[in-house]
Structure 1
Amino acid sequence: MILSILGGAFLALCVFAAMHDVNRLTIPNWLNLTLAGLFIPAAAVSGIPLEIIGGHLMVAALAFLIAFGLFAFNIFGGGDAKMIPAVMLWMGPNAGFTFVFVMALAGGACALVILFVRRLMPAAALPGMIRAPFEEKAGVPYGVAIAAGVFAAAPASPFLANLLSQISSFN
């Protein structure tokens, strides 16, 4: 029960991060810290063996190194580079490939949509809450792609699979 609550909070915060990124083109540090911090009690109550939890920590550390490199080369923003390792704590090795693959596809799709809309209409014609990415020279809100990757890979995460099966049993 507690793991389901923590997992639900994690998923809700991923959606919030995506919406915040669209609105302001930033993902706040407190949000990334909360995503990572929720993993600690989730790991404590999950009953998952320490070897598996260690695998999640190793994958997150590797994601941190890669994301930091992408940030250093100005490919990712700082919030994106912090959110990816926080998410990888929850995804782990089993869900990592699916997460990265879907995140990359969704990020490319977001970039294409933004470029297309920028050519069709001025940013001022769009509602204020979604206008930021469509301003000239604005970045891509990669939090949307990260959240898409989370939801695609969540069934393979031992921390989220049970929650998703509980949700699907309500249907």
Structure 2
Amino acid sequence: MAGGVAPFLLIALAFALLYAAWGDWRRRDIPNWLSGGIALAAPLYWWAAGIALFPDAAIIAGLALALFLLFAIAFAMGGMGGGDVKLIGALALWLTPLQLPAMLLVMALAGGAITLAMVAWRRGHPEEAKIEVPYGIAISIGGLWVIGNQILTILAERP
């Protein structure tokens, strides 16, 4: 019974990521309540997906913490916003060690594309202030890529 809830939780996560991307685009803000909600819902997903607390969930939580700390350094150096860091940490709680590199790769590619597009746009609008890349969009794209594949896999395995 618990496994039947997992796809719905992933769909809820997808909507949360879409909301984060939209908010980062419109206001350059990812609300704390959103990242906090994503993080707090992860243990429910672990239960629904049949992920054992030890060692699986412990490894996931450890990797999420390491990723959060790594990107917190980028924040401290002015390279990333605090909302982006919290969103990455929260999203990582939903991903297995095999999914995490895929998410980071897609996130990096999307972030690079967004940055290049904004630099090109800025050339035509020199009066604009400095470029603030809404990296929440790239984070969301990376997350949506991985969880989209996961949802499709779950649906394909159903009788």
1:111-122 aligned at under 5 Å gives the runs: 111-121=115-125
1:168 deviates by 6.6
1:164 deviates by 2.5
1:72-91 aligned at under 5 Å gives the runs: 72-91=76-95
The alignment of Structure 1 onto Structure 2 pairs a total of residues equal to 153
Q: Gaps spanning 5+ residues in structure 2: where?
A: none
1:118 deviates by 2.0
TM-score, scaled to structure 1: 0.81
1:21-170 aligned at under 5 Å gives the runs: 21-50=24-53, 51-121=55-125, 135-154=128-147, 161=150, 163-165=151-153
TM-score, scaled to structure 2: 0.87
Q: Secondary structure at the match of 2:80?
A: coil
How big is each residue's C-alpha offset from its partner over 1:36-75, in whole Å with a ceiling of 9 and x where there is no partner?
Answer: 1111211122212232212211110111110111111111
Q: Report the residue type matching 2:63 in the other structure.
A: V
Aligned-residue Cα RMSD (Å) equals 2.1
Q: Secondary structure at the match of 2:137?
A: helix
Q: Gaps spanning 5+ residues in structure 1: where?
A: 124-134
The share of aligned pairs that are identical, in percent, is 34
Q: Report the residue type matching 2:56 in the other structure.
A: I
**Residues in 2 aligned to 1:167 and 1:31: alpha-carbon distance in whole angstroms:** 27
